[in-house]
């Protein structure tokens, strides 16, 4: 690995405020000293290391953007992005556990919950003692929310929830305490006279009768990240567990997804940076025909291209995070950051593997894990096509979408 002095700022943070630089240094050191040495073991075991998650909780990472009154740190969303990037350099699975646990798990409750809901759920999530999941995706619903089949009927002051969800992160861990789920709670007449499903969000504390996290997926990558299909079979929760206004579930989650994409973009930047670091280190160490392979111009140019991708992805990610924190519109910028970051990570993973040669194909090396893990980045939290659609619409090309 590249040798970095304890006092030096983390790569790409030199222009950030001192507090953010210190956070980046602290998380970088934790990632290098604690996460990286254990990454291969947990990857092969396909097990989320709860002990590492606990340490992250003790560091305050799961409470970074949450208010202090709920045991959070009261920091900006950019603070979360800085932490996620540093973790993703060495292990994307650990980084997405933080990103999804906060961006998709805790933030909906923070943004739309009642005071009672916040006080019930947020403190343990902010301390990293528990994890929360975001139940949106179904076999026929995700980007197309109109395909939602999960239902929630109000019976005697309780919501009865029936349906299935898939690809849900943090949903089956030993410390998962809540799954927020989108469900059809009725139908409403649209302006054109047709009936459309009314989608609402409901908080489901787990474990609970009728809820099952089916066996984890056998995934290509992100082996340490906890991901399950879920079954809701007559799950009953109080009417007060409605999150936000009835019928506003999907609109609220679109807002949460915009925020989540910014943190997801930070994960992409971290992955791209990690691939660059691995490739630079190997290009300096590996000698062929009497010289380091990095002394060959075609390798040096490949590394330069990798650096350019990282710099561009980080710049747009920081811009999106700062716009979010300033209360400015950031939907387009979030999609730009996610699009550019995910493509940078995939390209850098491919280039790093090529530079490492056969050793880059061995799972014990971080390069191989990044190669497998990076492929999901152009799919998760809105595919590349979804991001292109959002960006195109922001340019005024709505008619291109029917």
Token pair belonging to 263: 């943190």
| 291: β partners | 288
Phi and psi torsions of 253, nearest 5°: -70, -30
- Contact residues for 263 (Cβ-Cβ < 8 A; gap 6+): 77, 80, 81, 84, 99, 102, 103
Torsion of CA 23, 29, 31, 37, to 10 degrees: -170
Q: 144 Cβ partners below 8 Å, 6+ apart?
A: none
Q: From the candidates 11, 85, 259, 381, which is the catalytic residue?
A: 381
Q: What is the reported pLDDT for 402?
A: 62
Give per-10-residue mean pLDDT for the chain (402 aa). Answer: 56 93 98 98 96 98 98 98 98 98 96 98 98 93 80 96 97 98 90 85 98 97 97 98 94 89 98 98 95 96 98 98 97 98 98 97 96 97 94 91 68
Question: Partners of 201 in the beta sheet?
Answer: 182, 243
**Domains identified in the chain and CATH numbers:** 18-131 (1.10.540.10), 132-247 (2.40.110.10), 251-401 (1.20.140.10)
Question: pTM, whole model, 2 decimals?
Answer: 0.95
Structure tokens at 38: 């254990």
- Give the integer Cα–Cα distance in Å for 61 and 237: 30
Determine the distance from the C-alpha atom of residue 402 to the mean position of all C-alpha atoms in its chain, rounded to a whole number. 30
Contact 178, 190 (CB under 8 A): no
20 preceded by a cis bond (ω within 30 of 0) = no
**Within its chain, how far is the Cα of 181 from the centroid?**
17
Q: How far is CA 313 from CA 125, 306, 377, in A?
A: 29, 11, 13
Q: Which residues, at least 6 apart from 208, have a Cβ–Cβ distance to it below 8 Å?
A: 235, 237
For 143, 151, 219, 351, 382, the CA distances from 166, given in Å and listed in that order, are: 13, 15, 13, 32, 15
Question: Per 3-state DSSP, what percentage of the chain is helix, strand, and coil (rounded to 5)?
Answer: 55, 15, 25
Partnered with residue 186 across adjacent β-strands are 198
Q: Are 35 and 52 in contact (CB under 8 A)?
A: yes
Whole-number pLDDT of residue 140 = 84
- The Cβ-side half-sphere exposure at 359, using a 13 Å CA radius, reads 10
Whole-number pLDDT of residue 7: 55
Report strand pairing: 131-135 vs 151-155.
unpaired
41 counts as catalytic: no
Cα dihedral 184→187→190→194 (10° resolution)? 110
C-alpha 400/C-alpha 84 separation (Å) is 35
């Amino acid at each position: 690995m590249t040798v970095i002095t304890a006092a030096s700022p983390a790569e790409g943070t030199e222009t950030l405020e001192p507090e953010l630089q210190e956070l980046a240094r602290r998380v970088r050191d934790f990632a290098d000293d604690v996460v990286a040495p254990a990454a291969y073991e947990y990857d092969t075991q396909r097990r989320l290391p709860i002990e590492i998650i606990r340490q992250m909780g003790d560091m305050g990472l799961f409470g970074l953007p949450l208010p202090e009154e709920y045991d959070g740190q009261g920091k900006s969303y950019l603070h979360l992005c800085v932490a996620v990037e540093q973790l993703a350099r060495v292990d994307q699975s650990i980084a997405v556990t933080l990103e999804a646990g906060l961006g998709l798990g805790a933030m909906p409750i923070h943004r739309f919950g009642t005071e009672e809901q916040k006080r019930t759920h947020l403190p343990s999530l902010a301390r990293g003692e528990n994890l929360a999941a975001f139940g949106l995706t179904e076999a026929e619903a995700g980007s197309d929310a109109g395909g939602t089949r999960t239902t929630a009927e109000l019976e005697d002051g309780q919501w009865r929830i029936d349906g299935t969800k898939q690809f849900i992160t943090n949903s089956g861990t030993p410390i998962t305490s809540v799954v927020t789920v989108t469900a059809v709670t009725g139908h409403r007449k649209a302006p054109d006279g047709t009936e459309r499903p009314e989608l609402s969000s409901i908080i489901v504390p787990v474990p609970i009768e009728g809820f099952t996290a089916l066996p984890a997926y056998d995934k290509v990558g992100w082996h340490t990240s906890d991901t399950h299909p879920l079954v809701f079979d007559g799950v009953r929760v109080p009417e007060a567990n409605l999150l936000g206004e009835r019928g506003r579930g999907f609109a609220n989650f679109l807002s949460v997804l915009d925020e989540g994409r910014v943190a997801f973009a930070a994960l992409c930047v971290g992955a791209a940076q990690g691939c660059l670091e691995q490739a630079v280190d190997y290009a300096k160490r590996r000698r062929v025909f009497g010289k380091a392979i990095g002394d060959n111009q075609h390798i040096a140019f490949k590394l330069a291209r990798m650096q350019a991708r990282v710099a561009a992805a980080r710049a747009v990610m920081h811009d999106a995070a700062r716009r979010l924190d300033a209360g400015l519109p950031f939907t387009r910028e979030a999609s730009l950051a996610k699009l550019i970051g995910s493509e940078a990570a995939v390209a850098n993973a491919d280039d790093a593997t090529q530079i490492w040669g056969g050793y880059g194909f061995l799972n014990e090396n971080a390069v191989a894990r990044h190669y497998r893990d990076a492929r999901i980045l152009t799919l998760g939290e809105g595919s590349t096509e979804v991001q292109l659609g959002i960006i195109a619409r922001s340019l005024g090309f709505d008619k291109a979408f029917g």
